[in-house]
Amino acid sequence: MPTSRGRRSGGETRDAAPRSWRRKVVETLVVLAVIVAVDALCSFALEQYGSLSSVMWSEYRAAAGESIDTVVVGSSTAQRAFDPAVLDATLGTTTFSMATPAQPLDDSYTAAKQAIEDHHVRRVILGVDYESLSNENWAGSHVAFARAKMDGESLSQAVADYWKLLVSPAFFGRADSLCALFPWGYNHVKLDPGSVVANVRERLSGDSTLEAAAVVNGGWTYYGNGYGNYDNVIDYSLARKDTSVAIHGLDDFKETCLDQVASIARLCREHGVQLVVVVTPRPAFNVLVYGEKYPEQMALLQQVTEQEGATFVDANLLHAETYSPQDADFGDGEHLNRDGATRFSQAFAGVLQALDAGQDVGTLSYSYDNWDQYLASIHQISAVVSRLDVDGGGSATVTAQTYTGTDVQVEYRFLLVDKDGGTTVLQDWSSSDSCDVPRGSHGTVMVCARQVGSASDYERYCVQELPH
């Protein structure tokens, strides 16, 4: 017969299980609460306040009662290429830019769909560049875009949008799907006390996202209708570091990206909306750097676009009488600055007028099938770059490469520049694109390039650092 002690012991054993279960539930809930609290605190302190995605969506919501018949979607190259006010002044349209930095094509689809539903737009301009089709989507841009869109939505719609993000091909089954629950890990300010304090202060200041964006994005100015830009001008002497190939690498277009363009085209066609896919302008050197890959891959994009009934325009291939950018139109190797966007938008308004008049706008451009004609149309040196080769004995050679058209003859001059700025001619003007550097030389080599027959000091130059 069991003793009372045994019964108590048995009773304690029976009671222990439910207490342990309850304790585990409570502990789990406490841990989750701590994680949520820390996530919220980190998001408040570290997630950038005043992102350009936030500006776009807040300005778009503010225009809810206004008429919008044209939207621009795409990444930063589209964002900084089209000035809605300039387009509208010529065309009599009402344009809003929904382009945002590093906007993936599936987010461009989302933006176009939202504008079609909200405003019944009649035209969508999709601005793309080579990397829009060749690079994997940057997860951080997905998160920034989705969170900015969620800010003005109901809780149920916001949850639905974030769930759509988590299960999208860019996230589902990858570590990013979990990391997206911690958005401050993607779009955070610089991780130093000054930047964090400034971000928190900006959140608490009562400034709108637009006001905060002007502070966060130094040099950026908002001009209205979703459009903002910078006034900086490219330094062509840094072209070696400014090519997209140097920044992003060189890959073929991804089938998923081409499919996403096709999806946007079908969305527009199903709603009776005109889609114009535009390869945005860039300096000639940043087209030539791709070599034969550029016409080969861009032809695939053109084919997909036109098969779906949309219009395709490569602004880099437009004939000079339609559009001819100036050197100072670019902020860097991929983006137009404010003045450049004004000039391009004026020119592109003419392209859209021709399209609306029923003209075949393909006749305004060189074709990928006749790539040689485009190469022959470049009559200037777009950029010169250099490389340094050092052999085992310490002898060094600087070799130059120019980006120019096929009919341009180039000559080079190599100068040794010491730390005080003094120069010594290593090799005077000649057709030779390489120069041996005397052993023991220090400082930099300035590589100058000009067209044969020119009397200028140089048309383009670059600087090659020498090993110390």
Which pLDDT tens digits describe the chain residue by residue (468 residues)?
Answer: 445 444 444 444 455 555 687 777 777 777 777 767 776 676 666 667 778 898 999 999 999 989 999 999 999 999 999 999 999 999 999 999 999 999 999 999 999 999 999 999 999 999 999 999 998 666 777 788 888 888 877 888 877 877 777 777 766 666 665 666 666 666 666 777 877 777 677 677 767 788 777 877 788 999 999 999 999 999 999 999 999 999 999 999 999 999 999 999 999 999 999 999 999 999 999 999 999 999 999 999 999 999 999 999 999 999 999 999 999 999 999 999 999 999 999 999 999 999 999 999 999 999 999 999 999 999 999 999 999 999 877 789 999 999 999 999 999 999 999 988 889 999 999 999 999 999 888 889 999 999 999 999 999 999 999 886
Residues 124 and 262 in one domain: yes
In a domain, 133, yes or no: yes
**Confidence at residue 137, expressed as pLDDT on a 0 to 100 scale:** 64
Radius of gyration of the chain (CA): 28
Residues 368 and 420 in one domain: no
Rounded to two decimals, the pTM is 0.87
In a domain, 28, yes or no: no
- 358 Ramachandran zone, left/alpha/beta (phi>0; psi -120 to 50): left
Residues 91 and 222 in one domain: yes
Long-range contacts formed by 254-260: CB under 8 A, 24+ apart: 254/133, 254/134, 254/136, 256/169, 257/105, 257/132, 257/133, 257/134, 258/133, 258/300, 258/301, 258/304, 260/105, 260/106, 260/108, 260/109
Boundary (domain end) residue, out of 330, 350, 375: 375
CATH of the domain at 422: 2.60.40
CATH of the domain at 278: 3.40.50.1110
Q: Is the dihedral of CA 274, 275, 281, 287 positive or negative?
A: negative
Residues 360 and 265 in one domain: yes
**Confidence at residue 350, expressed as pLDDT on a 0 to 100 scale:** 97
Residues 341 and 301 in one domain: yes
Residues 260 and 359 in one domain: yes
Of 112, 27, 2, 96, the closest CA to residue 56 belongs to 96
Q: Which amino acid is at 125?
A: I
Residues 391 and 362 in one domain: no
Residues 308 and 360 in one domain: yes
In a domain, 285, yes or no: yes
Residues 115 and 249 in one domain: yes
Residues 317 and 444 in one domain: no
In a domain, 86, yes or no: yes
In a domain, 451, yes or no: yes
**Contact present, 45 and 199 (Cβ < 8 Å):** yes
Residues 144 and 248 in one domain: yes
Torsion of CA 299, 301, 307, 313, to 10 degrees: -80
Write the CB contacts of 187 (distance below 8 Å, at least 6 apart in sequence): 47, 48, 51, 140, 143, 144
Q: Name the residue with tokens 């601005």.
A: 127
Residues 332 and 394 in one domain: no
Q: Could you list the residue range(s) of the whole structural domain that residue 460 is in?
A: 381-465
In a domain, 457, yes or no: yes
In a domain, 111, yes or no: yes
- The total number of structural domains in the chain stands at 2
Boundary (domain end) residue, out of 328, 344, 375: 375
In a domain, 26, yes or no: no
